[in-house]
Amino acid sequence: MTETHKRVIAILGSTGSIGVQTLQVVEEHPECFEIYAITANEKVDELIEQARKFLPEVVVIANETKYEQLKEALKDLPIKVYGGYEAICQVVQSQPIDIVVTALVGFAGLRPTIEAIKAGKAIALANKETMVVAGELINELAMKHQTPILPVDSEHSAIFQCLAGERDNKVEKLILTASGGPFRTFSKEQLANVTKEQALKHPNWSMGAKITIDSASMMNKGLEVIEAKWLFGIEPSKIEVVVHPQSVIHSMVQFTDGAVKAQLGTPDMRLPIMYALSYPTRLSSTFERLDFSTIKEFTFETPDIERFPNLQLAYHALTMGGNMPCVLNAANEVCVAAFLAERIKFTEMSRLIERALQSSDYQLKPTLDNLIATDSATRRMVEGWI
Ligand code: MG
């Protein structure tokens, strides 16, 4: 990064947890970054406030019924205002943008990410579902358009940082750390009766609702294993998950000589966000530092797949490949929404996801259209069961 050229950023999902923290990073380094576009799904009031503060060129609200309100609120400013999901897919292609932060939730991240890659934009990937559903396609496109995909997920950022400078040195395995979530010590019986309020209380990280439920069910780690495969081109058998309840080690890489490198830090997403935006440069920050005098212990456990079958289901989907990770993801999105609406119990989620994997038609090399069809067919099917 040079002082003369600011990185021009589009944030998809600017009112979500990652979006808000990305704006904080930009505020911390206004000399390095400039906001070109921000988009939100629903939260129009927050979006208006952000737009008035950061004065981007373009603002998009996906929910078109809120477009008039947005347009009216920003009419005194020289900001282009659009409504609808298609507008997001178009705005990411705008010429001035250097890097697109994909912080939308779920399958909705896929198409805008593809359009951004096709337009040659670097991707700061905060939407892991995109890589889960279509990792192979995304990698092919990124290769063709010579554009980098930079991880924002803290585990993948940790691995990315551990790999810096290693060039062709061979990796023996990636070790993804997991906090274990709020139910790490719960019995199977206790898990069956947990409430959504309990599930939404993550012990270490503050995040959006969908990922917090995914963390409680260990599906988040399952999705991250799949994400790691595609980001780092490594076989599933070489990706290990270890539960590390303190969430200080964000992940590790073991090399063929036996050396293990780890990246440590406070659980603050602004660091991985900033690293993705400024890569390969490290910028200074005022974020809280680790204080080793207050860290009493580092502990590690093997994940319990009896109590948390989602991790196993994700490995299974990944090993099968093709459209199965897409089935896994769609079934999970429907289940998480149903759990948040208190329509199903916590432990029912895994059962429904497993059933979806068993009941879906397998496609070895799905196209984008196949994946879109798989996603909607899976959603319909799982909705039908609920
Ligand atoms: Mg993560």
Strand order in the sheet with 149-151: 80-83, 58-61, 33-40, 7-12, 99-102, 122-125, 149-151
Burial of 113 (0-12, 13-18, 19+ CB in 10 A): buried
Taking the C-alpha atoms of residue 57 and residue 68, their distance in angstroms, rounded to an integer, is 18
pLDDT (tens place) for every residue of the chain, 386 residues total:
555 689 999 999 999 999 999 999 999 999 999 999 999 999 999 999 999 999 999 999 999 999 999 999 999 999 999 999 999 999 999 999 999 999 998 889 999 999 999 999 999 999 999 999 999 999 999 999 999 999 999 999 999 999 999 999 999 999 999 999 999 999 999 999 999 999 998 877 777 889 999 999 999 999 999 999 999 999 999 999 999 999 999 999 999 999 999 999 999 999 999 999 999 999 999 999 999 999 999 999 999 999 999 999 999 999 999 999 999 999 999 999 999 999 999 999 999 999 999 999 999 999 999 999 999 999 999 999 99
CA of 154 to the centre of ligand 1 (A): 5
Strand order in the sheet with 171-178: 239-243, 171-178, 249-255, 260-264
Buried b (16+ CB within 10 A) or exposed e, 229-245: bbbbebebeebebbbbb
CA of 71 to the centre of ligand 1 (A): 35
Tokens of 196: 């959504």
CA of 128 to the centre of ligand 1 (A): 9
CA of 169 to the centre of ligand 1 (A): 25
CA of 39 to the centre of ligand 1 (A): 22
Taking the C-alpha atoms of residue 290 and residue 275, their distance in angstroms, rounded to an integer, is 17
CA of 66 to the centre of ligand 1 (A): 31
- CATH number of 3-151, picked from 3.40.50.720, 1.10.540.10, 3.30.1050.10, 3.90.120.10: 3.40.50.720
Q: For ligand 1, a single-atom ion, which residues have Cβ within 5 Å?
A: 153-155
CA of 133 to the centre of ligand 1 (A): 17
CA of 147 to the centre of ligand 1 (A): 23
Taking the C-alpha atoms of residue 50 and residue 321, their distance in angstroms, rounded to an integer, is 40
CA of 65 to the centre of ligand 1 (A): 33
In Å, how far from its chain's centre is CA 351? Answer: 24
CA of 152 to the centre of ligand 1 (A): 8
Taking the C-alpha atoms of residue 372 and residue 374, their distance in angstroms, rounded to an integer, is 6
**Count of CA atoms in the C-beta half-sphere (13 A) of 101:** 37
Q: Where are the domains of the chain?
A: 3-151, 156-320
